[in-house]
Amino acid sequence: MRITKISAVLFLAFLMSACSWFEDVAIAPDVPEQQLYQEAIQAMDEENFEVAIEKLQLLESRYPFGRYSEQAQLELIFAYFSNYEPEAARAAADRFIRLHPNHDNIDYAFYLKGLTAFEQDISWITQYLPVDETKRDPGAALDSFESFSTLVNRYPESQYAPDSQKRMVYLKNRLAAYEVHVGRYYIQREAYVAAANRGRYVIENMQETPAVPDALAIMVEAYSRLGQQNLAADTLTVLNQNFPDYQYQPIFKGEKTLFDAATFDLFNEAEEIPEIAPVRMRTSSEASSVKETEDERSVFSKITFGIFDDDEPEEAK
């Protein structure tokens, strides 16, 4: 029995060693740190970013505290960005910012992070087809704006600050236009409170964008349909005084029928919005007179809501 157990152990050991005979294990040679870094930079100069990424990753794993470790992490962000790997580039940028908050080139990490998110939505579809990017999800644009804003606020003297400011202007206009699209969508769905909040958000946070008059128009229509005539009149006054040439068109068109959908709303006339007029507040004497008139009404008149009342109030005569 003992001999059987020993034979089984020896047989298993033979099988495990035999498996290694058929494996083609390629052990990477021990390349010096400087040589790995130079090979990575050469691959990047040749725009062979896959090889550059491989070299930089190998350098960082073998020499985590070496002379070129920090620079390799920074170069890895650019390599990922150039190789159209936005998620990896942003993760590498976040890692570098977290590990080296006081690095001399940390502004470059913020710039690459913002630039990666800025171009993340750019694809062959948006390049060759007329796609309105202001109607798309602004998640990447918002992340890009935040990265550029951090760079400009913390490092205003950075060489990347001017370009970041220009991109922030474009992104702010895009985000404002997106808010306007959402506000119009809410009005079509009769969610007037949400539409008014979207318009107010643009007015309060994006005053220098071209979407401001559209946001004011959304607020006018939303307040009008909510019955807030004073707010609608005040907003309309602001719109007329600041944008006198603005051509306002009602947004709400009612529920679409099958014919409207088939004809792309060509024959669907927009519903007129309620007339915007300031509400006149009653004086105390008028209010008391109205109250007395209501008290004198009969029970039948109150039940029938005055439908069968023949006497017209004296105030209206």
- pLDDT tens figures, 84-124: 999 999 999 999 999 999 999 999 999 999 999 988 766 54
Q: Is residue 77 in a domain?
A: yes
Q: Which helix (H) or strand (E) holds 195?
A: helix 192-205
Cβ contact 180:218 at 8 Å: yes
pLDDT band, residue 298 (cuts 50/70/90):
low
pLDDT, greater one: 275 or 57: 57
pLDDT band, residue 208 (cuts 50/70/90):
confident
Q: What is the pLDDT of residue 29?
A: 59
Q: Give the contacts of 80 (CB within 8 A, at least 6 positions apart).
A: 53, 86, 88, 89, 92, 116
Q: Is residue 73 in a domain?
A: yes
pLDDT surpasses 70 at 126: no
Residues 48-89: tens digit of each pLDDT: 999 999 999 999 888 888 888 899 999 999 999 999 999 999
Q: Is residue 41 in a domain?
A: yes
Q: Is residue 70 in a domain?
A: yes
Give the separation between CA 275 and CA 68, rounded to whole angstroms: 70
Average pLDDT score over residue span 272-286: 37
The total number of structural domains that make up the chain: 1
Q: Is residue 258 in a domain?
A: no
* Amino acid identity, position 142: L
pLDDT surpasses 70 at 293: no
DSSP 224-245: HHHT-HHHHHHHHHHHHHH-TT
Give the separation between CA 121 and CA 127, rounded to whole angstroms: 10
Q: What is the pLDDT of residue 64?
A: 85
User: Which DSSP state fits 257?
Assistant: P
Domain containing 71 equals: 32-85
Q: What is the pLDDT of residue 249?
A: 77
Q: Is residue 74 in a domain?
A: yes
Q: What is the pLDDT of residue 39?
A: 92
CB atoms within 10 A of CB 151: 25
Q: What is the pLDDT of residue 38?
A: 92
pLDDT, greater one: 272 or 4: 4
pLDDT surpasses 60 at 284: no
Range of lowest pLDDT (49-58, 72-81, 131-140, 149-158) = 131-140
